Each structure stands twice: as structure tokens, then as C-alpha cells.
Amino acid sequence: MTLTNAALLSAGIMALVSVLDSHLVSKRLPSLRAFMLPVGVIHLVLALVTVLVAPFAVPVFSLPVGYAVLSSCIRVVAIVILLDSLQREEVSTVIPIVYTYPVFVAIMAFMFLGERLEPMHWGAVCIVVVGAVLVSMGRGPSISDMARPRAALLFLASLLFAVADVTGKQALSDISSWNLFCVGAATMGLVFVALGLRPRVVRSIRELPDCKRALALLAGNEVLAPVGIAMSYWALERGPVSLVSTVISSRPLFVVAFALLLSRIAPGFLFWSGGRRTVIMRIAATALIVGGIAIIETQ
């Protein structure tokens, strides 16, 4: 499997995860903390299984593991901002704004990791990011309709995802992608359980009318998510962080496709607005994203 294919597969899987996350936090579960608690437990189990299957080859208290912990902590903060936004805003608006982060990644990788991109690669990064932004345009609700603090938080999340990718790439110079996945799962699990473990939260989950169905959907989604995360770390371990992050930033394209499909076959499953202008704009955005990724693949 090529780096581009792995990154694209990760983008598609994580897009589906984002759509289901949006449904769960906005439609199924009573609060964000009620979502975090079972997700945190699942990720702690995943971390335990991963460390047993793929032990660390370096001491736990070492600089590479420190970079992994730093990367994971930063990523978890970004994920919390993302989830809170998915609870309040349309998924097809939130994801494209957040996934402009390859621009930050390219700059930081150039400054701190010594990665050198050809002019065509820089152009491809810009093309994919422009496509990701266009995905969220030509529709009803947009970034201009958001409260300024919310829009600022989304751009902060974008910057944090970039920092997490760059520090994660630094960690991967000495540890495996599975080690980074383990640290990330453990960090998310601990933070989410710490935030969600409250008597009222447990009670609100138990009192859900369709508790078993909601938790089953959540569990299925959280089994799917590690596949996408592992694929992204695998690609990140083997390729330039700036290019891998750019391909992964095609995720908004998949989000819009899934959201559009669900708006047709299951109205009300997500917050969604759209029309002819939306479709035209998103076709143009699709062409840009696909074109940018094609440039990366052929260079």
C-alpha cells in the first residue's frame, strides 16, 4: 500500500467516524461528557491491548515517548474542541475549517524538521486546502454565521492538529506507529474518563430511552476509529509529515459525501443544509482536492 492510499483510506474512515460522532453528540447522547465516558473506556482498553501486542522498544521515560505524550495531549485538546463544535454546528462546516491545518504543518515541518518541499508540492498543499475550505461554502450556515469565539476555536483546533502531527513525526523517529497509537489511545482514554466520570453523567446514560442502541453505535464507531488513526500514523511514520497531512486533509470531501448521502436516505440523522449551489461548489472543491492529491502522488 502506498503512502497516499493509506492516507486517503485514513481520511475516508475518519470522515465516517466524524459523521457518526456528530450524530452521537448532537442527536443520541445527552451531553458531550456522556459521549466522552464510554469512548474513554474503549480507548483505555485499546491502549492496553496495543502495548501487549507491540511493546515499546525504548524506555518509557525517554525523549521520544515524551514527544509522543506531548503530541497526544495536544491532539486530545483539539479533539475536545472539535467534538464540542460538532455538538453545536453542522459537521460539513466544522470539518473543512479544522482541516486547513496542512498549511501550518508544511510551515512547521520546514522550520523544525528540515523537510524541503518542491514548489509543486507547496502548490498542491495550497490547492487541497482551498478545496477543503470551498467544501464548506455555498451553503446556508457558514463560518460567517458562527459566533467569533467558535470560529476562533476551530482555527485553534486546526493549529493544534498541526502541532500534534509535527511532534508526532518527531516521536516516530525512534518509536513505532503502534507505540504512538498506544500513547494516543491512553492519553485520550485518561482525559475522557476524567472529564466524563460523574454520577450525573452515568445516570444520564443509563436513563437514555435507547441506551443499548446508542452505546452499540458508539462502540462500533470507536472500533472503526482506531483503524483510521493507525493508518494515518503508519503513513506519517513513512512519509513527509507535510504531504501526509495534506492527503489526510481530504477528509472534508468524504464528510460532505457521507453527509449528503445521509441527508437523502435518513433525513434528520445530522444537522444539514444544502441546495443546488452547494452541490456545484462542492463539485468544484472535489476537483481541487483530487487534483492536489494527484500532484502529490505523481511528484
Contacts 24+ apart (CB under 8 A), 66-71: 67/167, 67/168, 67/170, 67/171, 68/168, 68/171, 68/175, 68/179, 68/180, 68/183, 68/184, 69/183, 69/187, 70/167, 71/163, 71/164, 71/165, 71/167, 71/168, 71/170, 71/171, 71/180, 71/183, 71/184
Question: ∠ at Cα 23 (17, 27), nearest 5°?
Answer: 160
Is the Cβ–Cβ distance between 239 and 3 less than 8 Å?
A: yes
More confident residue, 160 or 86: 160
Is the Cβ–Cβ distance between 234 and 6 less than 8 Å?
A: yes
Q: What's the 3-state SS for the chain? A: CCHHHHHHHHHHHHHHHHHHHHHHHHHHCCCHHHHHHHHHHHHHHHHHHHHHHCCCCCCCCCHHHHHHHHHHHHHHHHHHHHHHHHHHCCHHHHHHHHCCCHHHHHHHHHHHHCCCCCHHHHHHHHHHHHHHHHHCCCCCCCHHHCCHHHHHHHHHHHHHHHHHHHHHHHHCCCCCHHHHHHHHHHHHHHHHHHHHCCHHHHHHHHCCCCHHHHHHHHHHHHHHHHHHHHHHHHHHHHCCHHHHHHHHCCHHHHHHHHHHHHHHHCCCCCCCCCCHHHHHHHHHHHHHHHHHHHHHHHC
pLDDT grade for 247, boundaries at 50, 70 and 90: confident
In the predicted model, is pLDDT for residue 84 greater than 60?
yes
| pLDDT value of residue 76 | 95
What is the overall mean pLDDT for the chain?
81
pLDDT grade for 195, boundaries at 50, 70 and 90: very high
pLDDT grade for 268, boundaries at 50, 70 and 90: low
How many domains, the chain?
1
Count the neighbouring beta carbons within 10 Å of the beta carbon of residue 215.
16
| pLDDT value of residue 241 | 82
| pLDDT value of residue 150 | 66
Cβ burial of 73 (10 Å; 0-12, 13-18, 19+) is middle
| pLDDT value of residue 29 | 86
| pLDDT value of residue 295 | 72
Q: What residues make up the domain containing 248?
A: 3-298
Report pLDDT digits (tens) over 95-129: 767 777 777 787 788 777 777 767 777 787 787 77
In the predicted model, is pLDDT for residue 182 greater than 80?
yes
Q: Which three cell numbers stand for residue 243?
A: 504531504
Report pLDDT digits (tens) over 22-80: 888 877 888 889 999 999 999 999 999 999 999 998 888 889 899 999 999 999 999 99
Report pLDDT digits (tens) over 219-244: 998 888 889 988 998 988 888 887 78
| pLDDT value of residue 240 | 82
Count the neighbouring beta carbons within 10 Å of the beta carbon of residue 143.
18
Report pLDDT digits (tens) over 123-156: 877 877 777 666 555 444 444 444 556 667 888 8
